[in-house]
Structures are given as structure tokens and as C-alpha cells.
């Protein structure tokens, strides 16, 4: 695994840990933001292993789908997690009336931890 990919996985884990703290303190909008960025770092890390580096979020989303979902390396649910977390982050960051339920945030946190585990296992097997 490339050192830069390894660092992105570390960044993802640290960001998920921050999301957990925010969730426990009931800062749900901020927790959603951190969950999205953790999932984004995971996707970036996976793409980095294929020498694909992008800065725009939409480009990362599309490239992840092309290289990992359409090829059936990962289940489609992880692309849905990425795009759904992005949509929630945008709402939470820019729509002042947006509120998230504890159950909703808990669910995406669990999914993000699962994605990190699956991604790490995949990278270790390569």
C-alpha cells in the first residue's frame, strides 16, 4: 500500500473518531460533516492506489463508482453511502433549518466504520 493511501486511511479513522465524539455530544450536523469527510478520504485512498488523484468531490464520487462499484470490487451500498453522506453534509452545512436524528447519524457512522474495515481489508489483500 502506498504511504499516501495509508495516510488517507489514518485520516479517515481519525475523522470517524471525531465524528463519534461529536455524535456523543449531540452535535449531529458536525458529526455528519465528519462522517462524510471520512468516507471521502476512504474513496480517495482507494483511488490513490490506482494512481488516480482528484480534488473535486464529484469527480472522486464518479471515479470511485467507475473503478470500484461498476467493477464489482465493492458493493454499491458504499457508493450510496458516499453520495448520501455528501448530500447530508451539504444540507447540514448550508441549510440552516436542517436537523438530523440520532438514529440517522448513528446509522451512517456504522456504515462508515464498515466501509473503512472493508477498504482496509481490500488494500491489505492487494
- Dump pLDDT digits (tens) for 56-78: 999 999 999 999 999 999 999 99
Q: How many domains does the chain have?
A: 1
Terminal Cα-to-Cα distance of the chain (whole angstroms) = 8
Confidence of residue 37 (pLDDT cuts 50, 70, 90): very high
**pLDDT of 55 higher than 90:** no
For the ranges 11-15, 33-37, 95-99, 103-107, which has the lowest average pLDDT? 95-99
Tell me the C-alpha distance between 80 and 72, whole Å. 14
Q: What are phi and psi of 84, to 5 degrees?
A: -70, -40
Helices (H) and strands (E) in the chain, counts: 5, 0
Q: Which three cell numbers stand for residue 92?
A: 447540514
CATH of the domain at 83: 1.20.120.330
What residue numbers bound the domain in which 118 lies?
3-125
Question: What's this model's pTM, rounded to 2 decimal places?
Answer: 0.96
- Dump pLDDT digits (tens) for 82-109: 999 999 999 999 999 999 999 999 999 9
pLDDT of residue 25: 98
Amino acid at each position: 500500500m502506498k504511504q499516501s493511501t495509508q495516510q488517507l486511511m489514518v485520516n479517515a479513522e481519525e475523522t470517524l473518531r471525531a465524528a463519534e465524539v461529536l455524535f456523543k455530544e449531540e452535535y449531529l450536523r458536525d458529526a455528519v460533516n465528519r462522517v462524510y469527510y471520512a468516507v471521502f478520504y476512504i474513496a480517495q485512498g482507494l483511488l490513490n492506489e490506482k494512481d488516480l488523484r482528484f480534488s473535486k468531490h464529484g469527480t472522486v464520487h464518479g471515479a470511485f463508482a467507475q473503478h470500484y462499484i461498476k467493477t464489482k470490487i465493492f458493493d454499491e451500498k458504499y457508493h450510496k453511502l458516499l453520495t448520501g453522506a455528501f448530500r447530508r453534509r451539504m444540507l447540514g452545512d448550508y441549510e440552516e433549518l436542517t436537523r438530523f436524528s440520532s438514529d440517522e447519524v448513528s446509522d451512517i457512522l456504522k456504515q462508515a466504520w464498515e466501509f473503512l474495515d472493508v477498504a482496509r481489508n481490500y488494500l491489505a489483500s492487494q
